[in-house]
């Protein structure tokens, strides 16, 4: 502002009192011979100004034409001729010249120099020599910032910059984007081309690239784009940003009707004055837009100069410069009014935009335009998307698009149950009708919500997506998305950090984890005598022989041991006979009872007998405990993996091998984890030979079945549940770990990703995701023995394993009852004979008594008492003559009337004792 006041005082001092007006003011211009549109706009603008005659100033255009074959010397001569003709300003030349001779000339003579085309970046030394230059074309440095802001708004994480190598100013316009290449070459690639060259070589080098920043002149733009079509650059959902501000001048008619040209194109252009179509003054009635950047900027440049002259001429007389220029000598007296006009132009540019096509202008100290607005638009169908201002703000516009091409989404997937499978008669079907599975149903549901068409594209290698470190290329579904061969990928595709670095994912449609797939050994049917398996047949034979031999040896020792012969009646101090309680039945019962840990009601008395019995008990304990210990091992399903309950157990053993899919998400979890157990498990898998890794889940399942329990497979729980549901020989071991999510993968920056996520959330809220999971995971024909599967993990016995014990019990009870019933029937025969009854009557009588379970007392019949008395005598009496005489005496006693009147066993015993004590006996 201080400089402005100084200039104003200086001008007043020189021109005060001078009321005469300049009638004609020469305006010089330098145009190339093929810039007829720019020249025409220049002349029309001057004629428009002269026709208004607002300040009685007539602008007289003096034009010098240039040719590209001419050098800087000729350019200087033509510029000098304009100076010598007293021009008040020089416009041009355009950026076709690589010389700043005109700027230097104007700076030396004080004549305003106004440019309308881009100017290469200047250093501080050049700025000193260009003080009289103003450029209405946007500053290249700010344009570079604008392009970086727009690309950042696109959220591109990877892209390629393409520009004309013959355009020296292109690197300046793109410098902010090119700086990203210096930071990370994997994010930003740079390619160049030459006008008239083979553009196919350019596009082949970046085949499949989905994000491109293209700086290309509009006259060759269509040719360059057509060359990219065979290489997938312009396929659906690719995005291309065109930086040339004159892009709208390209002829997009052929591309507009080309079905293979489906790329999303965005371009930038200077924003027109918002009030342009609303102003109805005399200027707007004739001031028509050419819709071409440079001609319209020439208009703005001439109007800017005119407005400055108009403001000055109100008070001051403007005398045209009269300068003789000699390039060998410095100009001693530059035109003083030139600097003043230059300053006024900078002041009024930002105060009034009514005469400019591209709105307000603002310049920095070097004369560069640093205030403008860009339209971000779609150039093919020409509709506005957003606007950018120099503050870096991008304002989105609501646009209704009605002429979009019909989009058919390509869905990359892989064959794998139950997500994506071929129908049995797939060879007789076409298109999507050939496939069935969870992924097919899910995409169909999403398509019904979002109203789009899709086509399944199974990947050739049937892989999920793995990075090849040697080629730095992705394969499988991820590779299809990166190479722009598909618009989305779906299957059991896990979200991982590496994949998120190259593609985007929707919200998850399924949550899962990792577990262990193991072989379920079939439950063997044990034989009925399985309880005898702890001992071999010969051991059982030896044990049975030992019982019989020990019983007879025990009997023999008891008979030779004097301590075992005892008085049968303790009250009789002088017995006639001694009795030995060890007969064959008692000896056998003690021997058998000892080995069965049942004990006996009689025990040996002598030291030899007790020693003998103690040794037998030691033997019995060892045999019994050995049988008990081995019984559990033989009656349960011993499994090699019985002690494996999870990954930690796997990592601590070496008998069972385990693996997972090579390069899959589970592999990545183990290889990149810092957890000790996972690292140990990964190292074990890496060291195994042959490799324990597989290419697919199906291969892993097959390997588990083939190895019969010596191989386990780490896999995601969804696939694990699906396989165990359909194969009784498979089971899941341990708890779930390593939480994961399945989602739909889309290329970076895909605009439709948010719509897919919303559709997935909607399906989840409606219960559709649960229904689809149930539909494809449940198996109606599952006939696996669920109860046995459930108990196979522990040592509990089932009936099939111990049924032999029950059979033995039933046989023993049956034999006992057969013997008891036989004895009962014989007893009934005796009762019938004694009581003079028929056999039937006696049988009914005894059965009635047997059924009275509450009666524990039974009357003795005479016959029965005789038999009972005979049983009370010692068994040893039967082998001696004295025993025979005693038996005859006892029979006599038994016939006494007191015994006959006895009604119970107790009274019988009492009568016998009394008779024994009777001195008459």
Q: Are 689 and 683 in contact (CB under 8 A)?
A: no
φ, ψ of residue 565 to 5 degrees: the values are -95, 120
Does 137 sit behind a cis peptide bond, omega within 30 degrees of 0 on the bond before it? no
Orientation of helix 717-726 relative to helix 697-707, angle to 10°: 50
Q: What are phi and psi of 242, to 5 degrees?
A: -100, 125
| Paired strand residues for 832 | none
- Angle ∠(289,293,294) on CA atoms, nearest 5: 105
Give the three-class secondary structure for 258: coil
Angle of helix 881-894 relative to helix 862-872, nearest 10 degrees? 150
Contact 379, 222 (CB under 8 A): no
Establish whether 793 is an annotated binding residue.
no
Q: How many CA atoms lie within 13 A of 768 on its CB side?
A: 19
Nearest to 265 by CA among 309, 214, 335: 214
Q: How far apart are CA 464 and CA 476, in angstroms?
A: 5
> In the numeric block, which tokens belong to residue 318?
């403007």
Give the whole-angstrom CA distance, residue 537 versus residue 532: 8
Tokens at 557, concatenated: 């020792």
792 is in an annotated binding site: no
H-state helical runs in 28-161? 36-52, 72-84, 101-109, 124-128, 140-153
Question: Quick one: CA dihedral 197, 198, 200, 205, positive or negative?
Answer: negative
122 is in an annotated binding site: no
The per-residue DSSP string of 520-550 comes to --------TTGGGTTS-HHHHHHHHHHHHHH
Contact between 804 and 528 under an 8 Å Cβ cutoff? The reply is: yes
Residue 78: HSE in the Cβ half-sphere, 13 Å Cα cutoff = 21
Alpha-carbon gap, residue 173 to 374, rounded angstroms: 14
CA distance 74 to 61: 20
Structure token digits, residue 516: 């262990």
Q: Is 41 annotated as a binding residue?
A: no
Residues 491, 420 contacting (CB under 8 angstroms)? yes
Q: Are 561 and 609 in contact (CB under 8 A)?
A: yes
Nearest by Cα to 492 from 218, 355, 697: 697
736 annotated as belonging to a binding site for a ligand: no
Contact 28, 62 (CB under 8 A): yes
Quick one: CA torsion of 248, 254, 260, 263, rounded to 10 degrees? Answer: 0
Report whether 745 contacts 485 (CB < 8 A). Answer: no
Residue with the two structure tokens 């060359």 = 227
Q: Which residues contact 638 (CB under 8 A, 6 or more apart)?
A: none
Percent helix, percent strand, percent coil in the chain, to nearest 5: 45, 15, 40
Decide: residue 121, CB within 10 A, 0-12 exposed, 13-18 middle, 19+ buried.
middle
Rounded to 5°, angle at Cα 694 from 691 and 700: 115
What residues have CB less than 8 Å from 895, skipping those under 6 apart? none
Quick one: tokens of 72?
Answer: 């800087």
Read off φ and ψ for residue 401, nearest 5 degrees. -105, 125
Q: How far is CA 376 from CA 139, 214, 217, 269, 403, in A?
A: 18, 15, 17, 7, 19
Here the tokens at position 64 are 């010098």
Q: Which residues are annotated as a binding site?
A: 494, 499, 665-666, 716
Query: Which parts are annotated binding residues for L-glutamate?
Result: 494, 499, 665-666, 716
């Amino acid at each position: 502002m201080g400089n402005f006041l100084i200039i104003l005082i200086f001008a007043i001092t020189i021109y005060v009192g001078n009321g005469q007006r300049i009638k004609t003011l020469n305006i010089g211009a330098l145009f190339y011979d093929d810039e007829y549109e720019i020249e025409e706009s220049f002349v029309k603008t001057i004629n428009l100004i002269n026709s208004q005659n607002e300040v009685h100033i007539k602008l007289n255009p003096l034009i010098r034409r240039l040719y590209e074959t001419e050098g800087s010397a000729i350019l200087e001569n033509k510029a000098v001729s304009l100076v010598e003709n007293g021009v008040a300003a020089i416009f041009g030349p355009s950026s076709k010249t690589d010389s700043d001779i005109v700027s230097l000339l104007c700076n030396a003579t004080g004549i305003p120099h106004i440019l309308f085309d881009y100017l290469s970046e200047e250093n501080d030394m050049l700025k000193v020599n260009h003080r009289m230059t103003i450029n209405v074309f946007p500053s290249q440095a700010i344009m570079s910032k604008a392009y970086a802001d727009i690309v950042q708004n696109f959220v591109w994480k990877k892209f390629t910059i393409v520009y004309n190598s013959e355009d020296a100013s292109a690197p300046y316009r793109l410098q902010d984007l090119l700086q990203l290449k210096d930071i990370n070459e994997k994010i930003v690639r740079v390619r160049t081309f030459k006008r008239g060259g083979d553009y196919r070589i350019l596009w082949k080098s970046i085949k499949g690239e989905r994000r491109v920043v293209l700086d290309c002149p509009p006259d060759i733009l269509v040719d360059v784009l057509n060359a990219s079509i065979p290489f997938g650059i312009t396929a659906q959902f690719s995005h291309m940003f065109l930086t040339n501000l004159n892009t709208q001048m390209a002829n997009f008619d052929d591309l507009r009707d080309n079905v293979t040209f489906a790329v999303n194109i965005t371009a930038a252009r200077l924003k027109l004055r918002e009030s342009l179509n609303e102003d109805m003054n005399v200027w707007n009635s004739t001031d028509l837009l050419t819709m071409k950047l440079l001609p319209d900027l020439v208009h703005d440049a001439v109007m800017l100069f005119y407005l400055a002259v108009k403001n000055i001429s109100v008070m001051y007389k403007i005398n045209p410069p009269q300068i003789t220029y000699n390039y060998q000598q410095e100009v001693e007296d530059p035109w003083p009014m030139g600097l003043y006009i230059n300053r006024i132009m900078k002041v009024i540019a930002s105060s009034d935009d009514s005469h400019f096509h591209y709105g307000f202008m603002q310049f920095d100290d070097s004369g560069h335009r640093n205030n403008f607005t860009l339209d971000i638009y779609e150039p093919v169908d020409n509709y506005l998307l957003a606007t950018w201002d120099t503050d870096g703000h991008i304002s989105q516009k609501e646009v209704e698009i009605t002429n979009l091409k019909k989009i058919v989404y390509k869905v990359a997937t892989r064959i794998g149950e139950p997500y994506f499978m071929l129908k049995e008669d797939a060879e007789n079907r076409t298109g999507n009708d050939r496939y069935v599975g969870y992924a097919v149903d899910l995409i169909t549901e999403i398509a019904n919500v979002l109203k789009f068409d899709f086509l399944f594209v199974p990947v050739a290698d049937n892989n999920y997506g793995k990075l090849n470190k040697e080629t730095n290329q992705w394969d499988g579904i991820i590779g299809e998305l990166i190479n722009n061969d598909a618009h989305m990928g779906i299957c059991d595709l896990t979200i991982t950090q590496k994949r998120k670095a190259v593609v985007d994912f929707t919200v998850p449609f399924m949550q899962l984890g990792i577990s262990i797939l193991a072989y379920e050994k079939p439950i063997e049917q044990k034989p009925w005598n399985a309880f005898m398996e702890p001992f071999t047949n010969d051991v059982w034979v030896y044990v049975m022989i030992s019982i019989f031999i020990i019983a007879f040896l025990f009997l023999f020792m008891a008979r030779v041991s004097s301590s075992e012969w005892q008085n049968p009646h303790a009250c009789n101090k002088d017995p006639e006979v001694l009795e030995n309680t060890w007969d064959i039945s008692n000896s056998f019962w003690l021997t058998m009872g000892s080995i069965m840990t049942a004990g006996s009601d009689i025990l040996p008395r002598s030291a030899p007998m007790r020693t003998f019995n103690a040794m037998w008990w030691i033997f019995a304990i060892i045999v019994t405990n050995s049988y008990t210990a081995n019984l559990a091992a033989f009656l349960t399903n011993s499994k090699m993996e019985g002690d494996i309950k999870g990954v930690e157990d796997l990592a601590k053993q070496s008998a069972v091998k385990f693996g997972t899919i090579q390069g899959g998400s589970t592999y990545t979890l183990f290889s990149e984890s810092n957890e000790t157990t996972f690292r140990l498990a990964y190292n074990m898998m890496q060291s195994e030979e042959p490799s324990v890794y597989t290419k697919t889940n199906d291969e892993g399942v097959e390997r588990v079945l083939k190895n019969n329990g010596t191989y386990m497979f780490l896999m995601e729980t969804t696939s694990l549940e699906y396989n165990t549901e359909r194969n009784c020989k498979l089971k899941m071991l341990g708890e779930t770990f390593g939480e994961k999510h399945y989602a739909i993968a889309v290329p970076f920056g895909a605009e439709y990703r948010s719509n897919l996520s919303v559709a997935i959330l909607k399906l989840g809220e409606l219960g559709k995701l649960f229904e689809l999971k149930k539909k494809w995971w449940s198996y109606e024909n599952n006939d696996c023995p669920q109860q046995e599967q459930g108990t196979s993990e522990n040592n509990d016995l089932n009936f099939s394993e111990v049924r032999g014990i029950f059979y033995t019990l039933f046989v023993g009870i049956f034999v006992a009852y057969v013997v008891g019933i036989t004895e009962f029937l014989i007893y009934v025969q005796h009762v019938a004979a004694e009581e003079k009854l028929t056999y039937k009557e006696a049988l009914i009588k005894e059965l009635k008594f047997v059924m009275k379970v509450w009666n524990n007392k039974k009357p003795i019949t005479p016959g029965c008492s005789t038999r009972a008395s005979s049983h009370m005598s010692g068994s040893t009496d039967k082998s001696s003559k004295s025993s025979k005489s005693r038996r005859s005496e006892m029979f006599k006693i038994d016939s006494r009337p007191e015994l006959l009147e006895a009604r119970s066993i107790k009274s019988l015993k009492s009568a016998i004792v009394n008779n024994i004590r009777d001195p008459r006996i």
